[in-house]
Each structure stands twice: as C-alpha cells, then as structure tokens.
Amino acid sequence: MPVMKKAVLAGISLKNAPKQFASVFAETKELCLACDLEVVGEISQQSRTMDPRTGFRQGKIQELAALVQATEAEIIVFHNPLPIQTAERIASICGVNVIDRTSLILDIFAKRARSKAATMQVEMARLQYDLPRILNESADQAGHERGGSAYNRGAGEMRSDLIARQYAGRIAALKQELKKIEKQRWQDERRRTRTLMRRVALVGYTNAGKSSLMNAMIERSSQQGGRVMEEDMLFATLDTSVRMITCGARKFLLYDTVGFVSDLPHTLIDAFKSTLDAARDADLLIHVADASDPACADKIQITEETLKEIGADGIEVLRVYNKCDLLSDSSHIDGLKISCKTGAGMDEFMQVLIDKLYPKEDSAMILLPYDRIAMIDMYKTAVDIRILENREDGMVISLQGPSRYLAAFRNYRLKEKEE
C-alpha cells in the first residue's frame, strides 16, 4: 500500500455554474486519490477572474495558508491551470509545493504507464507541458540578470535558450522512437486487416467500466484471451489492449482505450495519438457510460466532444449503460442497460453488437475450385463458411455473411439447377 501524502484541494469557480464546478471539483479530488494523495482539506472561491499573482483573492489566499497549516498538508492541488509564477507565489505564502490539475493528471499517467510506448508518451507530454512554463520563468529571470541588453544577452536568456534546445532535442528523440513503435504497430494492424475482421473500440469516460466490459466479453467468447486489468480508479488503463472475441460464428477485434476526462490536457491528446488511433480506426465504437454516476449526462457529452476532437466522431457508436445493478430504478435510461458485475443485459448487448457489425446478411451456394481454397482462410472470420460436398471440380460451400464480402465469390455461385 503506497504512502499517502496529505493534500489540500483548491479551486476557483469562474463560471455561473456552481453545480458543474462542484462535479469537476469532485473529480479532481478523485484524481488526487488516483495519485496517492489524501485530500485533508478543500477550499474554493467563486470569482469572475483569477488573481494573476496568487489565484485566490488576498483574503482567500490567507485562508488557504491557514488551512494548510491546520491540516499539516504537504502539497496544494489547484483545480485550475496555474502559471508557474503564480504557483510559486502560492507556495511561498503557504510553505508547501503547489501543482495544478494538468500536472496532477501527468503524474497519474507517469505512475500508470507500463509499456515502453506509454512511458515515452507520458515523458513527451510532461516535456511539452513544462517547457513553456520554464521558458517563462527564465525570461523573467533574464530581465533581472545583469548584462542583459539588445546587444549583450543576459545569463537568464542564455539559460532559457539552453533549456529550449535540451527539451526540443529530447522531444525530437522521443518522437523518433515513437515513430518506430508506431511503424511496428501499423505492421501488426496491417496483418490484422488481412483477416477482414471487424474492429470494435471501447471508449468512454475514465472509470466507466470499459476494462470490466472487455473482460465480460472475453468470458463470453468461445476463443478466450487473457483478461485485462480492471480497477475502481481513474485512469487505471493507459495502454491499448486488443483481444479477439468470438460470438457464435462471428469474430471481431476488441480494443480497450485510455479513458477520457473533462479538460483532458491537449499535450496528452497529442502524446497518446497512437493509443487513440484504436478509436479512429474502428468500424464501431462502444461508448461505455456509468449509469450510476449523477454526472452521467455531462460525461457522455465530454466523451462525444473528445471523440470529435480526435477525429473519431464519424464512426458509428453503440452506447451502453454500465453499473445498472447500482440503481434501484433504471426505467429512465433509454438505451442498452448492462452490469458487467452481475452479467445482466450482456446477452442482449452482444446480440445488438453482432447485428451492428454484420448488417445486411446475404447467403449463397458456391462451387469453389480447389485452386481457390485460399479464399476460405481469407474470408472465414467475416463469413460463415460451411463445406457441404467435395466434387471433382471443387467444393460445394454454403456462405452466409455481409453482401460486400460475398461479392468476392460471385463468379463461383451455383445456379439453382446445380444446387
């Protein structure tokens, strides 16, 4: 069990939407828990703008300092984005380190990253986040360093240039390494594409139950793969997992993806491009929503906005409401209702999924020449193929599947008399 650091959570409601602020403020508290921080005190203020020097107004910043002292907090987590100078002033007044929500999310991702790709993506996101903040700090120092002028650059400015070169060099190196990993991933995906298997990606707000749903689908698959990790915590899954799911005569590839969150930092969206490609390249998206969450509607909207931001809004979506076992009454939910925990609704969900993946079923009887047998392996995952008879000139085969796949066999269709 990791040692929990004591933290004070601070935030400023900048809009006339106290309920919405309360929801995302509570989410930041959950993010603290995911980063092994115990929130021992909370403080917030409603204001039109943030004080550029200390975030909070003067009276409130003194309340924050008193709260830190009373709770013996070791760190302040600010819900709002903070310029580095503002964070340093707050730290100076309160006597403890100060981070903002974006930095908190980056810390969580650093803790959760397991694969080489995820580790590098997190490092790149951190560098992209820190660079402008450090450059601003150096630029401020440059104005106070002696010798700085239009003709003679000061020590602070030279330090700023040095940091910029170091960061840019490391970011460039990480991008090159990620390109190599991306190339390998593309080759793997290309091999999967040859199988003609349909692709399904699980998307949704973090902790909605995507990994739980994936495991529930794996358990129902006749060709079971290894279970994926699931944990009741924000951002439990960072690396994309893929499994082959078999349902009756149908097979498809199922991808789990990183969960979305409100105000997901753009540096993370950019860094996790390869992870999010699973959603962009899917034939169908399963949008998993937490039916027991009071903020379910807001989180559905955030997920839809994020899908649009990453260019996946044109893909067909099947929405499913998870954790319905936690509701005393789910009659108000208009959509597929399931519980990964109890298995309720899973059979109906799987049938709807298969119907969406393989619409417009067609059937045909063909006589396939023996020199075309390779077509069976090529199409067996997308078409139900049943060998009925072996003749001298080929195999009599019954086909059932999507019309677009059966079209490849049109030259071998048997006429009614031959059937």
- Give bridge partners of residue 204 from the DSSP assignment: 288
In this model, does residue 167 exceed pLDDT 80?
yes
In this model, does residue 331 exceed pLDDT 70?
yes
Pair 340, 215: CB distance under 8 Å? yes
- Give bridge partners of residue 203 from the DSSP assignment: 287
Q: How far is CA 245 from CA 181, 198, 220, 384, in A?
A: 25, 10, 8, 15
Whether 5-109 shares its CATH topology with 195-357 is answered: yes
pLDDT-wise least confident of 181-190, 278-287, 388-397: 181-190
Residue pLDDT, tens place only, 96-145? 999 999 889 888 888 877 778 778 888 888 888 887 766 665 555 555 44
Distance between first and last Cα of the chain: 68
Helix (H, G, I), strand (E, B) or coil at 387: strand
Nearest CA to 213 among 320, 330, 327, 352? 320
Give residue limits of the domains in the chain: 5-109, 115-146+153-186, 195-357, 361-412
H helix count then E strand count, the chain: 13, 13
Pair 13, 47: CB distance under 8 Å? yes
**Using CA atoms, how far apart are residues 181 and 166, in angstroms rounded to an integer?**
23
In this model, does residue 152 exceed pLDDT 80?
no
- Tokens (6 digits) for 263: 């105000």
Higher pLDDT, 216 or 131: 216
One-letter identity of residue 384: D
**What does the mean pLDDT of the chain come to?**
83
CATH code of 195-357, in short, is 3.40.50.300
- Per-residue pLDDT, averaged over 206-235, amounts to 74
In this model, does residue 173 exceed pLDDT 80?
yes
Q: How far is CA 45 from CA 28, 41, 58, 350, in A?
A: 15, 14, 12, 47
Nearest CA to 304 among 322, 325, 319? 319
- Tokens (6 digits) for 338: 């399931």
Residue pLDDT, tens place only, 54-82? 999 989 999 999 999 999 999 999 999 89
pLDDT at 149: 41
Pair 262, 25: CB distance under 8 Å? no
- Tokens (6 digits) for 397: 């085969």
- Per-residue pLDDT, averaged over 266-270, amounts to 69
Query: How many of the other CB atoms lie within 10 Å of CB of 225?
Result: 15
Q: Which region holds residue 263: left if phi is over 0, alpha if psi is between -120 and 50, else beta?
A: left
Q: How far is CA 153 from CA 16, 137, 143, 145, 219, in A?
A: 46, 16, 10, 9, 65
- Per-residue pLDDT, averaged over 206-217, amounts to 89
Task: Return the residue matching tokens 């960072």.
Answer: 238
- Per-residue pLDDT, averaged over 192-209, amounts to 79
Higher pLDDT, 241 or 28: 28
Any idea which fold 5-109 has?
Rossmann fold (3.40.50)
- Give bridge partners of residue 287 from the DSSP assignment: 203, 319
Nearest CA to 170 among 124, 130, 101, 204? 124
pLDDT band at 148 (very low <50, low <70, confident <90, very high): very low
Q: What is the pTM of this model?
A: 0.72
